[in-house]
Structures are given as C-alpha cells and as structure tokens.
Structure 1
C-alpha cells in the first residue's frame, strides 16, 4: 500500500468537521498552512487518497502502535519520564485536557483536538513528536489519526489484556479447503485479500514435515514407502497419533522448552563451572510423554514444592526456577547477586507464561506497558523467599537442592532408617531402665577422668623450627599446632595464652578435628574476645566457597551469640544451632560444643562457662559427609583453625581478635558433667531427676548404652554412604517469607518501600482467595480470567509449526509487541485449549490436521507482492531446521543415531581447546574430554551446554547458550553453516556411515545408491537434473581417489565408528563425498 505525502491527505482533512470558534479555527488554519489551497484538489483525488486509509480505523491495530512508538516515551506509563503531565496510555489521559483546559482528543471533531494541532504543526517548538526526538509521523499515520477521531475515536484497552471471548467461526466460500476451524479463520483473510490458497503438499514433503515437526527426526525410507502406498487421510492420522505417543515426540517438545527454561549444564558467568540439572530435563521429557496438562506442567515448575504433600517429582519440577546463571566470582556482594537470581525468575516467568517484558520495570516504571516499578517488586516477592547464596562454588549445585537416589538405593535407605529409628528407641528404653535403677547417683568426676582426648594445648610457650626451608612457629613444641603470624603469648586463664591481634594471625591444628557426620566429637577452649565487626571464628575446619564450606565451625555472630555448624554444603545441607545467650567481650569465658554423631541438630550442644546454653535449631538437614573437601569435592585433611575462618574469596575471614587458652579436642560427645569438670565449674545437684548425672553414667559406665551408640554410628555411616549415589538438583524451597522492598534504580542496597506479593493491576489482579505465594501465582497465571497465558502458549506452539507466531513477537504481548495477524484465530485456539483442559496434544493435533498446515510451501510468484512473508498463510511455511534437528537428521539418516532417552549430558565431537580458552576456575570443565562410543551419537538435545563455550557447530546454526529465557531463536544464513556441514566430523562421519548403509542394503547400481542416500537425507527422490549432477560428482571423485588412495583413507578415517573394510575404499570415499554434498542441499536442512 503506497504511502502518500502530507499534502495528499489534506483533501481528506478538509472534509472533516471543524466546528469551532473563529479564533481557534484561524489558528489551526495558520498552523496547517496548506489548507488555504485545499480547493485546488479535485473530488476524484480526494476519493483516491481516502482509499489508502482503512475503511474503519481500529484503535488497537492502527492508532495505538503509533502512540506507543512515538508518544509513550514522554507521555506513557513511566511517571518519572512523563512530560507536561500528559499520559496517553490511559483512556482518561488521552481523552483528557491540557493544562490550559483544551481537549487532547475531541471524538468526532478533529479540528477541536489539540493532538491534531500538534502533529500537523511545522513549528519546531510546537510539533509532536518534538524535533529533538528524531521521531516523525508519516502523512498516512497522521491521516489515520485524523480519520479515527472523525469516526468517533473509539478507545480499546490493549488487545492482549482484554478477556478471551468466544469468537464465531467465519464462513468462507472455498469450503473444499476447509478441514477444521483454523482454515476458516485463515481463509476469511485470504478471501478479503483476494488470494487463493496453495494446493496440498505432495505426500513425500507432507510426511517429512509431520515427522520433523512432531519428533524432530525424519521418516525412514520404509515409513515413507508405506505411506506412499496408501496416502489416505485416515492412514496419515494414524501415523500422527502414533508419533504423538513416542519418546521422540517428547524429546522434540522438550527441546523447545529447554530454551524457554534456560536449561544448561554450567553456571555461567566468569567461572562457568559444572552443575547437574539433567534430572529436571528428564522430568520435562516425561511430562510431555505423558501429555501432562499444560496448566499442571507450569504449576509444578513454578510451585511444585508448595503443593500439598508434594512428591519428589513435583519438587524436582521446580528446578525450572533454578536454571538461572549463578556466580562464583570471589569478592562479589552476596545480596546483589541473590537479587539478580530473583530478577531472572521474574523475567523468565513473565516471558515464558505471560509474554511480558517485566524486566523493563526493574529500575523504573515500564515505559510502554502499564506495569509500575512497585508491581515489579510485588511480583518479585513471590520469588524472593528462597534460602540461597549469591556467591557459590566454581563447580557443583547450589542449595536448596533435592537428592535423587536410584530405586535400589531408596529401598536400602528406607531399611537403614528403620534400623536407626529402632536403635534410637532402644536407647530411650535403656535410659528409662537406668533411671529406674538409680545406678547413676553418687558419682564423682574430675577433668582427669574425661576420656577420648584427641589433643590438648595448654598454650604455655612458643618454639620455632625449620621445615622445607621455612620457619614454622609451633605451640608447646607440638608440630601439629602451628601459629600463623607474629602472635604473642600473654597471661591466660590457666597460665599463658596466645593472643591474635590481626587477621593475618591464626592457630592451625593439623590432623585433628576431622569428624564426619556419624562421628561424635567435642571441642572446647577458653577465650577472651575483643569487640569487632562481623562474624568471629572460634573453631573452623570448614572449607571455602569452592567446597561449599564443607566441615564444621563455631562462630560468634553479629548479635554476639554463639553458632555451631556442621556443614556438607551451605546453605541447605547443614546442621546449625545458635545460643540464646551472648558472649561477653573482654572477659575469659569457656566455650564448648558437643555432637553425638546422629546426623541431627538435636544431637548438638553449646556450653558457655560449663553450663548448657538454651539453643535454637536453625538448620536440621545434614544428609552427606561433612569431612573437609577441596574444590573437586575430594576429602582433604584440612587443619582445624582458631581465630580465622576460611572465606578466602569474599574477603571475609571472620577474624576473632582476642586470646585463646587450654584448647581441647575430643573424639566423643562429652556429657554436661564432663564439660563442667574441664573448667572446674562446680556441680552440686545429685537428685534422682538429675539428667546430667544419668547422661554421664550412660556415656561412661553403661555398656548397653555404649554398644547402642556404636551401632548408631555404624548405621548413620551407612545412611551417609548411600547418598554418595544420589544426583543433586537445584530446586525451590522456602520456609519463611523474606521482606521485599522496592529497590531504587534496581540497586540491591537501595531499599525503599516494603511490598507484599502481587501481580500487575492491568491483568485484573490476583483473587484474594489465592494463597499469596508461588502456588497462588501459578493458579492466577493459569486461571481462566488471565487473558495472557493461553494466548501466549498457543502462539508459541503455532510458531513451532509455522516458523512465525500469530503474534510475531512471541516474547512480547505488550504495547511494543507485534499485533496478531489473526486475532480471532488466536483467541479461538486459546479458549479451546483451556476448554480442552490445557491438552497440548489436542492443540498440536488440531494444528497439523488443518488444511492450512498441510498446504504446499512451494514458492508462488503472485504472493511475492501480495504477502512476501507468508503472514496470511496462503502457502505452507518453509524454514530451516534448528541446529539440533540438522545434526539429528544426519545421524538418523546414516543409522548412527542412538535413541536412548534421558541421562547425563554427552560430549560429542567439537574442536580442540574450545573450553580451554575460557576455563580457568572450574576443575571439572577445564578440559573438554570428548566421549566415545554411543554418547557420540545421542540426540543433540543431550549435548552438554557450557554457557560461555556452547557447542560451536550448533551456535553456528543459531543455537542457544541458554543464559536467559528465549522463546524464539533468530535465523541467520552464513557461509560458516555450509562449512560446518562440509567439514565437521559429525557430518563427514555420518556421510561415510550413510555410504556404508546404502551399500550394505545390496544396492549395486550407483544410481540406486545415490537415490537411496538422497531419500534418506531429504525425504524425497531426486529429479533427473539432481541425479545427473550427483552421478557426475561420484565419477569425478572415484577418479580423484583412485589417483590418490591415501586421500580416500584419510577421509574414511574421520570419526570413531569402525570402518567397514569389506567395501572398496575409493568407492566408499566417493559416495561419502556425494552424501556430504547432499547434506548441503537445502532440502536436507530445510523443513518444507
């Protein structure tokens, strides 16, 4: 449609209703200038120009896109950017008045509308958009605005925010082209444009299209031949039904969702270390295989952990929320990155399910959509309750996590837990028996009677010796007790003490304090701490972030209370108790901790000055070993430190300035009486109800109790070892809501107003009966009243089958997004999807059963001008296969494809040292160790995705590094893509194996061999011209390899799959070249 000049639209403007006062009328005519010679235009000219404008101007489709693009930046939702107090994105603002009291828009009277006055002005101080914005309105756009006002300026809310209503199915004239209502919605627009639809696709192309769309894999030649014998509609429907039940279908659907969910096998950011999320990916495959309703599919991923009596699989599903990038950079501010993860969940959820760009409201009100910054942080409140850290290890999963055991181990674990419960019951029974016998009364105890001492350091003198040419200072001539820094001896509680003055000093005890989850221990020391900032370390053998802080420690926290932690991984896999009494600074105090080896926080105690503290349990979830480990999670004999923590990467070492005296480590749990005796604290109570006397007796003198505790230690150890086979997956878990604030400019530390969970008001808000958590959010997202979710879902699957969504911007259904090409069809499908209980297979079957889907995609010259982008779908769509499908097509055609479903990611061929270029921190990902055997030939969806070094061949074909949510991949066309197909070992080996395969099927004629290979790769038989070219190429290559046999051997040696030496190498090499050439034929990598 041609666009006229501004003057060309003046005849139309002249016919409008300029009913106004004389002064205002004169002003308008002066501003428009050219209207003075309107009479020079003929009536016929007016009629011709009018025809260029739509008969009926629709606000959403014609006017709003202009306002969004040219006006909203200064007069839209963003309050801080708004100028002149005008807000044009709301009805009240657009139909309101200027500060001078004039109407912005006067329905039916363009001449009375200030908007017309400004857009037609030639005065640079008056024209809108202003000159400095570098935005302009075309003459056609001005004409549409004017005509819209003249027609009454009917306002509509944004189309995507309107309720989904039942759309009547239109009637069309060419009924023979109708298979279901999709065709009627598509057909009515074709009729309006006078376009005839294309004929159905030929059977070969149609079957290949269906196979690729439903499974991501091509049909076999055998399947194609069977269909060609009976290309009936009934038989084709039976094929579709069969494919929809296959694992391949579930894998194909999962591939698309992995982009949406930003699934990867590494953390991203600078370290980009290993993480293991593949069980979540396998959950997705299973969900699609079982045709889980999409609302359930989404709900379990968003909030499966909050469902009543949540199952292991429902919790696993929430890995969707934890697929985001996680930093391991030392020195980052923990809270800053923790909030980045919250923001990622908001952006992923809003894009995947709602098609909104909510991230634009993180720092200010959205500039185009009616989403305020406050609403962004209300949405954030749903995702801000996870107990997680901002900085994590280079490798490994970060809590909270779920441990997944093989079924055999689950059975063993259940049995072990039964034994542990029985032992604990027997211990309680024995305790009651001893209490009734009163054998524990009248006991005497002194510190010399305490058993199990592993090390004692009275700290009386320092000595120095040389080790490996370095001077080492030790305490009390004990080579296992080292001193870092130039600390001094001062008067202590018992004699002398070692006093630490700065964070470069510390006490290191080698080969002591190495206790695992099932091993009881006790540790005590006299301390005289000084006031200081932050946490302060008393004992610590925990590691740094790269071992997820594995070990145990005793700290003084920022509230001056004592903390005792036994850690496998922070923050989720640990035992932690905290005292309710506070340390007094500047005074000598005795601190003692004990643990019973039960794996439970109830078995931990903190004592201060010989008295047991009242402790509160903060964490009680320790499942695996707490022995110190290195960055590869292998056990190490880390020294027990006093005065310093091991937080080497964040700069926080939790230094305790003060003095230490009489350090004692025991390899058993001490009783309260024994703890008191160590500090010579008096103990006088000896009544029958004295729990401490009985406890001492049981642990020291009762053989039954000691036997049971030894047995408990054994079975807790077995329980721990069973978890060695577990696969750990990051999931959602929340106990207590965290306060959420609006963050000024999105800065983590700039907290402003507190907010509660909520959703944007433009989407009707969330019903009060829904819980104010992620489960309530999920229910709101999939409620019938939500106008977005069903539309967004239908559109994304439509895009999968047609290459383009009904809304081209699948990620943006807001004001900046594209308008739907067929809005009535979108709403009809959306409503039908909900009425069919979110059945995705129903939706897919409806789409592929339509005549629209089955049309030929062959180029039509008449459509080049009428519909060059095939938006109206007069013909079938044609687009390149995804990166994964191109590789899988080659593997399938060659017979190499291994159809194993699920499991750990695999490492097929890729150029050497790709990872080495960017891997400096992750021990597991320093080197790309290529797989061998079957793993080389798995489907591409299982290829390992390292975010900073994704598979280069797939990235060349527009693969995704999965750093963030992507709902629509770009499509490029570069020479590198042809080079990949020609030279990548995957395709060369596949071409060789295809040559072996066709030769093994007893086809001796060269034409038959090439024809069969062509069919396997393209799904059809070659035409005469194609066959002539390929046979010529084969003859040329035969001569080439006969003249240089070493070249044939070199070519056939590419790839690890064994070479069939029974064939003539020159013939096999020539056929390999031909097959490789066919792989570069566009029908091998195009879906038509």
Structure 2
C-alpha cells in the first residue's frame, strides 16, 4: 500500500481534493496563502499530475430558503410584506412573488430579463429603482436573483404564507366555540376542563390527579386573599372536605375585604402605580393613594370590568360623574414625572406618551408606543395611528404651580359648583377687613364651610376647556417638528369602521369617553381576551397567552385559543363582565385543582396501573412512560397537564408572616404606611435624615399593599423579592433567585421581628409544651401537621440552640436562665419556619 505521507503525488492530490471538497461543502471559495499554492503546484507538477489554480466546482442553482428569502427579508420586506405591501406587492412568500401586485407579476420564471422585479432593481431612475431606501443591491445580489429566476424561481410548495395583520388571531371577533368532545367526561367540572382535556387526549396524556384537600384550601386562600387559612378555617374545612365544600370556601373568600386588597395589587402592577414621581427629587404624589383605594373598592364591589374601564379613562366625562369616578381617572397621572425638565415641551409629549402607551398595553395589549417616531417595525400600527390616539389625551393638563403638584376636588358637577361658589365667597370675605373684624370674618368662613363641606382631593389630570387643542403628527417624534393635523381615531387594523367620537360637552372634549366606550365595547376583539388572560395568569402562573401586554404579531399565540375565546365570550355575555364570576369559573374547574408535585404524580400513575391489574411488577414501565412523556415534552406545562409550582409575591410573603405571627393590622385604605428601612440603606441619600420617616410598628404591620412605594427608594425587602417595575406597565413580575433574598429573609430585621412575635403567639395559644408548639407552628405557617421526622428534627434543633445560648451567656458572664434559653430557641425555630421553601412556595 502507498503511504500518502510519503508519496508526493498522493499528498498533492489529497491536498487539492480536501480544499475543493471543503469549498463545495460550504459554498465558499477560500483564498489560499500564495506560498501554499506554489507548494501544491510544484509538488503536483513534479509528480506529473495536472494542476490548475482556477479549479472550482460548477456554480449551483440558488436555493430559495437559503439564498433568496434572506435577501428579500433584509432589503424588501419593509415595504413588501404582510405589514406593508406597497403597490399591492408582497415578497414574503414564493407564491406571492409569482402572483405580483397591481402592476402585474413581479417575475417571469425562466426569464429574468423580462421580470419587472429585476427591471426595477436595475433602474437608473431614482423614482423607479428598488429598494427605494438604502443603497442599491450589490452586483452579486442582483446576479443571485437573476440566476434564481432563470432557473425557474422555484420555492417550496408547502411554504406557509404569513397572515396579513388583519388576519391576526387577536384582531378577529371573539366568538364562542363549542366545547370539544372528550373521552374522560367524568373528569370535567365545567367547560374549561373539556378544552384542556381535549388537547391532552390528542397526545394520549392524562391530567394530574386532584391535589390533597389541605393543599387546595391553602391554594385558594393565597390566590384570592393572599393569606393562609387559619387553623380554625383548616379544621372546619377538613371535617368534611369535598369539591362542593371547596366551592363554598371560594364564595366566602370572594366576599372578604382581603380579596380586593389582594387583586388590587395585581392591577396596580399593570398601571405602574407608585406613591412618588421618580427622577431626582422623587416628590410624593399627593393623595394618589385614593386611586389605590378606588381599585380595592372596585374589586370588592365586583364593579363590572367595562364600567371599570370607563371610569379610569373618562370618569369625569360620564353623564353622571362623581367623586369616585373622578378619582378613578388618576390612572392617567400615575406615571413618573420630572418636576424640572430640561425641555418642557418635549417633557409634555413624554407625559402624554406614557398615558397613550400604558392605556394601549393595559386595555388592548398593544405596544403602540413604538410608533411614536416611525411606523411600528413589527406591528400594523402606523405613526398616524399613534398620534390619532395621542389626540384623545392631548386636552389633558397637569395641575401644578411651578415644581409643586396640585390636586383637584372630586365630586358631582353640582357639588363642585357649590364648592367653587363657597370658595369665592370666602375669598370675598377675606377682603372685607375694612368693614368686618377678623373674628367676624372667621366666624362667617366657619359657617360657610359648615354649610358646604370640603370635597376629597384627587390626584388627577383635567381638561381646562372643552375646546381641544390641535394635534399634529410629530415628524420623527420631535416636539419641534409638527406635521399634518390628526383627529381622534383608533388603530385602523382593529376596526372596519372608525367609532364615532362624541361632540365636545360643556366641561370637556368628550374624546376620552369615545375611546373608553370603544375599548369597553363587547365588539372590541382585544379587551375581554386581555383581562381573561390576566386573571388566568395570576391563578396558573402563566397566561393562556404568555405575553400578557402584547397580543400583537410579535406576541406569543395562545396555548388554548378556543378556550381563551370561550372564556372571553362567556365573561362578557354570561358573566356581564363580572371578575368574581370569572374567578369562580376558573377555581371550580378540575384543571385548577390538579396536583403540582411531579414525584407524587409519578407514584400515583404507577399505583393506578398496578391497581388496575395491568402489571404485578413493582414498577409499571408503561405508566412511567406515559407520565414521563408530558414531563419531557412539555416541561413548561403549556398544555396544563398539572398545576404549576409558583413562588408567592413579596406582598403575600410579608402579609403571611404578619398573619402567622399574629401582628397583621387589618386596617384598610387610607394614606400609605412606611415600613422601617435600616439606616445603612439610607446612607447614599443626601437627605438621609428626612427621606424616610418610618411608621410605628402597628401601622407598618398593615398589608403590604399599603406600603409607600417610593420610586427612588424601594423598601429593600420588597425590591430584593422582585417588586414590580414602577415606571412602566408590568404585566408579569420577574421571579429571580439571588443570594440577597436568603439574607433578607433569614437575617432581615422584619423577619426576626415576626419570629419573635410568632414565638410569643405559640406560647400564648399552646402553652410551653414543645411538641404542641411545633404542631401549632406548622398549622399556622404551612397549614398542615408536622411529620414525625419534622417534629423530632425541630426538638433536636431547639435543644441544640438552647445549649448554645447558655454556653454563649456563660462565656460572656451574662445571666441567662434555662427558660430564657428555651424561649430564644423557640424564636430561632420560628425564624427557620418562616424561611422554609414550603412557606414561600406553597406547593
């Protein structure tokens, strides 16, 4: 055999072959160093072998997917795809390229010279040449297109033609699909279950078993009111646990004030609520807490969601406005605000942009703010759409006096008129110093105030005149470059005919009322879908659409589109926009009541197979395979084959600690409280002595919903445990796992304080017997009795801790009794319990 390492002929041929093979494989002709070429050539000629430096494989025909489509996407899609199709020409699918536009077919297969596409690309007329923007196509790109056309302009016949924006699923009317037929009919408790089960059965999967009664009780309590069930509530339910008994618990929880407090916080995330303005001075927003209280009361009263929309967008423009509806419009003023902007004109447009963007994301699930400077790059939203919606809010003004924000009285028109008349009379009286004594003036003022009481102050914007200002489309979004005039409309892609905006009224332009009525209309394709999805997300951890603020083309499609439409239609037409009815529908489903523990599911699946007599072996392979299939193929649980593991939000964690320790202050509503912040966290502030005045402990022990949210100084425990973004709409909180969380929960002052109170509660309610204390502690914190191993572990831990406390005291020559050591050890046990995974991850 000839050794290629030794034979120069084989070496030269082998080298050339490798190089050419690599060129064919990659489709690239690589340049070689000159010395390498000379060496190969001399070796080949010496061995008598033919050699050519220009040797190359024949050019292959361009591939549509590899070569043509990426080129068109890069240079042509901006004008000729599903978002825009100038001259009715789309180039985002092979079939559409052949079809052409209003000027006829774009190409003639086999004849590039006769193809309109090539003629326009090669045109020397700037008005004719394509692409219209950017540099002309490079010669090699033109050659690639010509070769593809000359070779027949082939493309995959199975290529999917992208939908036009008007065909996008979220822009279609909401309809009620029929519930699917399923095999396992006994599992379903309501229509939700049939939609979920149908998808599982298509794959041959089964839903998880129902969770244990204790777990379900804790789940619904934390979901609906954000607090664990008390031992008494646990005992009452567990005396006769059943699906129907849990239904009754759900009804009871929905009627508790804590429901509004729990669910108001979810809404406040979406509408970017905070108690301060942000920026350098980060001043307090006066009376903004009244908007927060409005949301709490609205949820508790089960205010229909369509009415909820009307009041927040146009509460002052309703036929019968009131203090409540005016306070609701605080939604528009919640954003961050710079009280000393470098460019006041630009800042004015920034404020209105915040309102437009938040309104669109909150109620429509659209990122319309991206069209402020140019047509949206990824959605069918034009700059005209943006500024036409901008015109709706342009009449609004911020009440202020220099850098100081002002508030406005809230009431009915009659109440506001009476108040204005009273204040005018008071102002006149104060000028009567020549005819009346000071005492007489004050007496008359007191009488006037007694006859006409003050109205609540509201943190709201207002329209100073019913005559709206002219709104211009701003070129490139610049406040100094006004373009054409625009009038109020809604995004064109969402309607076949623009809604009628009412004429200006006596007090306002009525533009916001026109927008609000369209958003709250049963015919709006987005509103009900958006809210149903938000509620679903809070119960299951993820929405049916996992981009809750983006239902546009770039958002994720729904995992269960028929279920989403069924719920949205039912929510509007059967539930009459009632959120409590929607909660009840979801929480009474078998889907919601599935277990979440994967290992428990696996064991139950195997046990079921064994009991059915399918196999007498210890492990049933077929059962394990069926269980492991959804685990492997759907680890994110998109098909809802089990309940999801979730960590509680920081509010529910903190509130649960207060509830367990017995310190939760049930006081509702009113001005925000300020939890204590350690001095070290204030050191970086220039006004560290005055920036944060903590509330007394009893006031600070109210629910976390009432904590003052200062944009520039978030309470550390809230921040480290993933409080929402307070600047922009936050549709879903991040869930991070970082070391400071463990430090905050184990070493933080608040947690140690609650551990101290928890220990005192255990002594008071269960006496000094350690086993009874441990049992009660488990029931308070984890809603179950401890296992024997857990009890023994806690007993050993307490003994060890007590000995260490006594030893430390002896080393320091401190007096420390056995009783004190036992009490200190009990506090440490309580601290451990509050840090258990099971406490913050309920399942």
Q: What is the TM-score of this pair, normalised by structure 1?
A: 0.60
Shift of 1:1067: 1.4
Task: Decide whether aligned partners of structure 1 residues 233 and 382 sit closer, same or farther in structure 2, where only a CA change above 3 A counts.
Answer: same
**What is the rounded CA distance, in whole Å, between the counterparts of 2:144 and 2:289 in structure 1?**
54
Kept in 1: contact 2:322–2:410 (CA 8 A): no
Matched, 1:874 2:605: no
Kept in 1: contact 2:398–2:462 (CA 8 A): no
Deviation sequence 1:602-639 (CA, Å, 0-9, x none): xxxxxxxxxxxxxxxxxxxxxxxxxxxxxxxxxxxxxx
Task: Decide whether aligned partners of structure 1 residues 127 and 783 sit closer, same or farther in structure 2, where only a CA change above 3 A counts.
Answer: farther
Matched, 1:895 2:662: yes
Matched, 1:315 2:326: yes
**What is the rounded CA distance, in whole Å, between the counterparts of 1:1071 and 1:895 in structure 2?**
16
Matched, 1:180 2:161: no
Kept in 2: contact 1:392–1:398 (CA 8 A): no
Matched, 1:778 2:516: yes
Alignment of 1:11-410 (within 5 A): 30-32=61-63, 97=100, 102=105, 125=141, 146-148=157-159, 157-276=167-286, 277-329=288-340, 332-388=342-398, 393=403, 397-398=405-406, 401-402=408-409
Q: Secondary structure of 2:660's partner?
A: helix
Matched, 1:825 2:841: no
- 2:121 corresponds to: none
Kept in 1: contact 2:500–2:514 (CA 8 A): no
Task: Decide whether aligned partners of structure 1 residues 198 and 113 sit closer, same or farther in structure 2, where only a CA change above 3 A counts.
Answer: farther
Shift of 1:1002: 2.8
Kept in 2: contact 1:291–1:839 (CA 8 A): yes
Shift of 1:404: 8.1
Q: Secondary structure of 2:723's partner?
A: coil
Q: Secondary structure of 1:342's partner?
A: helix
- 1:967 corresponds to: 731
**What is the rounded CA distance, in whole Å, between the counterparts of 1:982 and 1:104 in structure 2?**
70
Task: Decide whether aligned partners of structure 1 residues 169 and 1008 sit closer, same or farther in structure 2, where only a CA change above 3 A counts.
Answer: same
Kept in 2: contact 1:182–1:825 (CA 8 A): yes
- 1:755 corresponds to: 486
**What is the rounded CA distance, in whole Å, between the counterparts of 1:1077 and 1:989 in structure 2?**
13
Deviation sequence 1:781-809 (CA, Å, 0-9, x none): 01122100000000000000000000000
Shift of 1:711: 5.9
- 1:990 corresponds to: 754
Kept in 1: contact 2:82–2:165 (CA 8 A): no
Task: Decide whether aligned partners of structure 1 residues 966 and 418 sit closer, same or farther in structure 2, where only a CA change above 3 A counts.
Answer: closer
**What is the rounded CA distance, in whole Å, between the counterparts of 1:1029 and 1:348 in structure 2?**
51
Alignment of 1:582-981 (within 5 A): 706=435, 715-716=444-445, 728-734=457-463, 735-736=465-466, 737-764=468-495, 765-768=497-500, 773-835=511-573, 836-860=575-599, 862=628, 863-912=630-679, 914-915=681-682, 917-918=684-685, 926-981=690-745
Kept in 2: contact 1:271–1:919 (CA 8 A): no
Shift of 1:125: 3.0
Deviation sequence 1:514-564 (CA, Å, 0-9, x none): xx94566xxxxxxxxxxxxxxxxxxxxxxxxxxxxxxxxxxxxxxxxxxxx
More off after superposition, 176-185 vs 67-76: 67-76
Shift of 1:145: 6.9
Kept in 1: contact 2:766–2:772 (CA 8 A): no
**1:1029 equivalent among 779, 787, 793:** 793
Task: Decide whether aligned partners of structure 1 residues 1029 and 350 sit closer, same or farther in structure 2, where only a CA change above 3 A counts.
Answer: same
Shift of 1:344: 0.7
**What is the rounded CA distance, in whole Å, between the counterparts of 1:998 and 1:288 in structure 2?**
35
Q: Secondary structure of 1:794's partner?
A: helix
Kept in 1: contact 2:81–2:91 (CA 8 A): yes
Task: Decide whether aligned partners of structure 1 residues 415 and 77 sit closer, same or farther in structure 2, where only a CA change above 3 A counts.
Answer: closer
C-alpha RMSD over aligned residues: 4.4
More off after superposition, 1029-1038 vs 207-216: 1029-1038
Equivalenced residue count is 713
Deviation sequence 1:361-391 (CA, Å, 0-9, x none): 0111011111100110100111111122699
More off after superposition, 340-349 vs 991-1000: 991-1000
Kept in 2: contact 1:77–1:365 (CA 8 A): no
Shift of 1:188: 0.7
Shift of 1:1027: 3.1
- 1:1070 corresponds to: 825
**What is the rounded CA distance, in whole Å, between the counterparts of 1:336 and 1:767 in structure 2?**
30
Task: Decide whether aligned partners of structure 1 residues 769 and 266 sit closer, same or farther in structure 2, where only a CA change above 3 A counts.
Answer: closer
Kept in 1: contact 2:519–2:527 (CA 8 A): yes
Q: Secondary structure of 2:485's partner?
A: strand
Computing the radius of gyration from Cα coordinates, the structure with the larger value is 1
Shift of 1:1049: 14
Deviation sequence 1:845-886 (CA, Å, 0-9, x none): 000000000000111561320210011111111110001111
- 2:112 corresponds to: none
Kept in 2: contact 1:207–1:219 (CA 8 A): yes
Deviation sequence 1:1030-1050 (CA, Å, 0-9, x none): 332222111111212499999
Task: Decide whether aligned partners of structure 1 residues 189 and 94 sit closer, same or farther in structure 2, where only a CA change above 3 A counts.
Answer: farther
Kept in 2: contact 1:200–1:854 (CA 8 A): yes
Kept in 2: contact 1:959–1:969 (CA 8 A): yes
Kept in 1: contact 2:62–2:144 (CA 8 A): no
Task: Decide whether aligned partners of structure 1 residues 182 and 895 sit closer, same or farther in structure 2, where only a CA change above 3 A counts.
Answer: same
- 1:626 corresponds to: none
Shift of 1:124: 7.7
Deviation sequence 1:120-143 (CA, Å, 0-9, x none): xxx9837999xxxxxxxxxxxxx9
Kept in 1: contact 2:399–2:461 (CA 8 A): no
Choose between structure 1 and 2: higher strand proportion. 1
Kept in 2: contact 1:265–1:944 (CA 8 A): yes
- 1:46 corresponds to: none
**What is the rounded CA distance, in whole Å, between the counterparts of 1:902 and 1:517 in structure 2?**
33
Shift of 1:358: 0.6
Unaligned stretches of 5+ residues in structure 2: 1-23, 25-57, 110-114, 118-138, 146-153, 504-509, 600-626
Task: Decide whether aligned partners of structure 1 residues 257 and 95 sit closer, same or farther in structure 2, where only a CA change above 3 A counts.
Answer: farther
Q: What is the TM-score of this pair, normalised by structure 2?
A: 0.76
Shift of 1:333: 2.6
